[in-house]
């Protein structure tokens, strides 16, 4: 939920009480400037306590010491950055997360002067971003709040050599952080609260930032012929929606780039109903759509110089008397027909119509879709990488690089005629499920039939969007995966 963390940047200052954060390497020595400001007594104390607590200054470790008299702080938080050779690949967001996890109480002063490392304004901004991501909590539905853990309150003052530059860099990072938290919130919300209509209304809130929104209801979709998408929603008492978000920060009339999200607000499996165990997790089957909303927030709030279209397909997959059946054949907006083998392979049906609609209407430079599409991607890549499928090597390469830069990593998976063959249907142009073997690739190759040769990439985020491994910047269930990666992709290649 929206945090109320206050983040400031100042020239090197004394702590204002609370925690004082300093960084040391494996020699346990802070930078010489920090050592001078701390004074010999504090530097000595750090070395002594470190010996007792076997704190070695290793990367990703920290130690807390009561501040000695004479320092205007209550506690010293000593954060390790490891040996010199580890420091080149320092992940600043993770470092900020570590700091935010160690700080207790209301105020922290962070002396950003690391031994042997120059922190650029962007590095400092990433650290502050890490603080916000770490302090995210979702306790809207807890009537008794747990105040014992670090939460979304407090004030962090980063003491840096160039506060104006850091402040400027943080303005962009702050919007990205809010975008990630927005995506996390949407994924965490329970499905009774967030149906297709309510989700669309949350997207509509982006108009505040200058994003244009359009919402297609079922009547509009009927007219367009989106029968694959509508078929998925027909067993739900809640009507389907498509929300289109447009950020026009680029040159007027310039070809847009497009992001598409799977927004199944709840996936029961439909008539091919899922087993009961863990079904509650399927409230998160709209994480692709949540990422697109979070990304649009990030891009609009930093006024990205690009024309961007975000489109999300919002449906609920439920079994009832009017639900779609295995054996049904639907005609998609593209005119191609799909035989339904398994009503639980619904995400590809939603995306088939949305992908076709987006390329047809917007003629984008590229399309990237995000979807919690297959359990099979968890079998292949665990929760460490998202699956990347693409018909375009340059786009795939750029996504992989942005993934490395942000720590939201992807792994390229195959498409090809073998997989096309596996989804051939006896009765229709294709079928929506080909069984377990190569399940992520057969799903992706169905999607490819709806991109009309536009440069396209598909990210299967079933493993990374929720319940993913905890890190210093993610301690909750939903991760907000993809917002940082795609913001980075746009920033590095598609602005100006
Ligand atoms: N939403 C699920 C995929 C999923 C699984 C997301 C686990 C997150 C965690 C998707 O709609 C689905 O049910 N896929 C089926 C496809 C199968 C029926 C061909 C699957 O992966 O089992
Ligand atoms: Mn499903
Ligand atoms: Zn699904």
Q: Closest Cα to atom 9, ligand 1: which residue?
A: 462
Atom of ligand 1 nearest to the CA of 274: 13
The label of the residue with tokens 């890190």 reads: 471
Q: How far apart are CA 330 and CA 353, in angstroms?
A: 11
Q: Closest Cα to atom 3, ligand 1: which residue?
A: 374
Strands 307-317 vs 241-248: parallel, antiparallel or unpaired: antiparallel
Contacts of 220-225 spanning 24+ positions with Cβ under 8 A: 221/353, 224/333, 224/353, 224/357, 225/331, 225/332, 225/333
The label of the residue with tokens 């799909």 reads: 338
Please indicate whether residue 271, judged by its CB atom, sits closer than 6 Å to ligand 1: no
Residue to mutate (ligand 1; options 374, 386, 387, 444; most atoms within 8 A of CB): 374
274 as an active site residue: the answer is yes
Structure tokens at 164: 């104006």
pLDDT tens string, the chain, 496 residues long: the values are 678 899 999 998 888 899 999 999 999 999 999 999 999 999 999 999 999 999 999 999 999 999 998 899 999 999 999 998 878 889 999 999 999 999 998 899 999 999 999 999 999 999 999 999 999 999 999 999 888 877 889 999 999 999 999 999 999 999 999 999 999 999 999 999 999 999 999 999 999 999 999 999 999 999 999 999 999 999 999 999 999 999 999 999 999 999 999 999 999 999 999 999 999 999 999 999 999 999 999 999 999 999 999 999 999 999 999 999 999 999 999 999 999 999 999 999 999 999 999 999 999 999 999 999 999 999 999 999 999 999 999 999 999 999 999 999 999 999 999 999 999 999 999 999 998 999 999 999 999 999 999 999 999 999 999 998 899 999 999 999 999 999 999 999 999 8
Distance 374 CA to ligand 1 centre (A): 4
Please indicate whether residue 260, judged by its CB atom, sits closer than 6 Å to ligand 1: no
- 115 Cβ contact partners less than 8 Å away, ≥ 6 residues apart: 23, 24, 25, 27, 29, 30, 31, 34, 81
pLDDT for the residue numbered 177: 98
The label of the residue with tokens 């939903």 reads: 478
Structure tokens at 443: 């799903």
pTM, whole model, 2 decimals?
A: 0.98
- Which residues, listed in sequence order, are joined to residue 64 by a DSSP beta bridge? 77
Distance 244 CA to ligand 2 centre (A): 23
Q: How far apart are CA 285 and CA 267, in angstroms?
A: 6
């Amino acid at each position: 939920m929206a945090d109320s963390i206050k983040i400031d940047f100042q020239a090197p200052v004394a702590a204002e009480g609370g925690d004082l954060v300093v960084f040391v390497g494996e020699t346990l020595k802070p930078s010489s400037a920090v050592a001078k400001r701390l004074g010999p007594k504090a530097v000595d104390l750090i070395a002594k306590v470190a010996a007792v607590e076997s704190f070695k200054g290793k990367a990703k470790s920290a130690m807390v010491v009561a501040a000695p008299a004479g320092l205007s702080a209550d506690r010293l938080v000593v954060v390790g950055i490891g040996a010199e050779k580890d420091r080149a690949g320092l992940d600043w967001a993770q470092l900020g997360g570590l700091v935010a996890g160690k700080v207790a109480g209301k105020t922290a002063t962070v002396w950003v002067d690391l031994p042997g490392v120059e922190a650029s304004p962007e590095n400092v901004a990433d650290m502050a971003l890490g603080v916000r991501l770490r302090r995210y909590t979702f306790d809207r539905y807890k009537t008794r709040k747990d105040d014992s853990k670090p939460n979304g309150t407090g004030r962090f003052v980063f003491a840096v050599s160039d506060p104006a530059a850091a402040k400027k860099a943080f303005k962009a990072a702050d919007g990205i952080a809010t975008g990630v938290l927005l995506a996390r919130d949407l994924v965490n919300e329970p499905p009774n609260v967030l149906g297709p209509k309510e989700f669309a209304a949350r997207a509509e809130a982006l108009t505040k930032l200058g994003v244009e929104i359009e919402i297609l209801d079922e009547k509009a979709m009927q007219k367009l012929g989106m029968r694959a998408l509508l078929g998925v929603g027909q067993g739900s008492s809640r009507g389907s929606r498509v929300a289109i978000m447009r950020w026009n920060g680029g040159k007027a009339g310039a070809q847009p780039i497009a992001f598409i999200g799977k927004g199944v607000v709840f996936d029961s499996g439909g008539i091919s109903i899922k087993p009961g165990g863990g079904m509650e997790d399927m409230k998160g089957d709209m994480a692709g759509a949540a990422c697109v909303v979070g990304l649009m927030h990030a891009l609009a709030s930093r006024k990205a110089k690009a024309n961007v279209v975000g489109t999300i397909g919002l449906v609920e997959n439920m079994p009832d008397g009017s639900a779609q059946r295995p054996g049904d054949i639907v005609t998609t907006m593209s005119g191609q027909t799909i035989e339904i083998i398994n009503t639980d392979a619904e995400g590809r049906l939603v995306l088939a119509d949305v992908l076709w609609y987006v390329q047809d209407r917007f003629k984008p430079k590229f399309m990237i879709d995000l979807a919690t599409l297959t359990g099979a991607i968890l079998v292949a890549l665990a929760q460490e990488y998202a699956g990347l499928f693409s018909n375009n090597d340059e786009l795939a390469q750029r996504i992989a690089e942005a993934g490395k830069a942000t720590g939201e990593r992807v792994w390229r998976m195959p498409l090809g005629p073998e997989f096309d063959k596996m989804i051939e249907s006896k009765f229709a142009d294709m079928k929506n499920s080909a069984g377990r073997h190569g399940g992520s690739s057969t799903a992706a190759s169905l999607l490819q039939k709806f991109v009309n040769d536009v440069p396209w990439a598909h990210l299967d985020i079933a493993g990374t969007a929720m319940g993913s491994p905890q890190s210093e910047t993610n301690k909750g269930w939903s991760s907000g995966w993809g917002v940082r990666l795609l913001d980075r992709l746009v920033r590095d290649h598609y602005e100006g």
